[in-house]
Amino acid sequence: MCMAAVLAVTMIAGCAPRQPYVNQARLERGLVIVLPGIEGGSVLNRAICRGLDEGGVNTAIELYDWTSRLGPLYNLRAKRRNRRVAGEIADRIVRYQAEYPDRPVLLVGQSGGGAMAVWAIEALPPGSEVDGAVLLSASLSPRYNLDEALSNTRRGIVNFHSRRDWFLLGVGTTLAGTMDGEHASSAGRTGFVPPKDIPVPDNYTWLFQIPWREEMAETGHVGGHLSASAAGFISTYVAPFVITRQWNRQLVHGVISREWFKAGQPGGNYYRPE
């Protein structure tokens, strides 16, 4: 990523993340792990957590800072280290599921955290799976093969992307590379496309891609990289996917049209332990 981009994400980084949405009662209902971008814990990812809570997510919402103190550029390029940390996130998921069986587990990854979400799901041991993942402005190459990650989810993967994200996920990742080391515009800008030279995996029917729309600006997401973390956008467009048990094209339409909210967020979509 170019130096201007590195400075931009460094300026918004904050101290170690607090966990205001993690307590025993919330953990009993389920777990959402929020993975920040290469800047680490910041006002951006704290806004994601707040937006999920304001959108009706009543499970634990844990901000998991996977980054190193060596800085954003290192976090972007340290592929071996990042894969190892993704394995640690997978271990965290397995431990939670052992203590709280049959509760929903989802990941929400922003920018570089989108790649970490995918890699953590890939790192799950055989027989383990999560409910799903939501990617926000993900810094992965468009042809990254999602087949393995999708096969380890019950609901699928949602990818929010925006052509307006031309600086950080266009110029920036073309110059410095995506999290998986490709020098190209990221899938968080263009969307994912099936891998070349192989048949499209059946699992790709569980990939739901949502491009930026002008009406999203009303919720704070104006199409750029950083605004995808706006609490209003998260509560309106992301929280419904966390809450709803089954993902399909009808749900995507309901979220985009905001019919989901007009329906009053049916209580049956929440996880309620017996």
Short-list 88, 24, 91, CA closest to 59: 24
pLDDT in tens, 140-179: 999 999 999 999 999 999 999 999 999 999 999 999 999 9
pLDDT in tens, 8-62: 443 333 344 579 999 999 999 999 999 999 999 999 999 999 999 999 999 999 9
Provide the token pair at 169.
Answer: 């996920």
Query: What is the pTM (predicted TM-score) of this model?
Result: 0.89
Residues in the chain: 274
Report all structural domains of the chain as residue ranges with CATH numbers, in order of start: 32-264 (3.40.50.1820)
Nearest 5°: CA angle at 35, between 192 and 16?
155
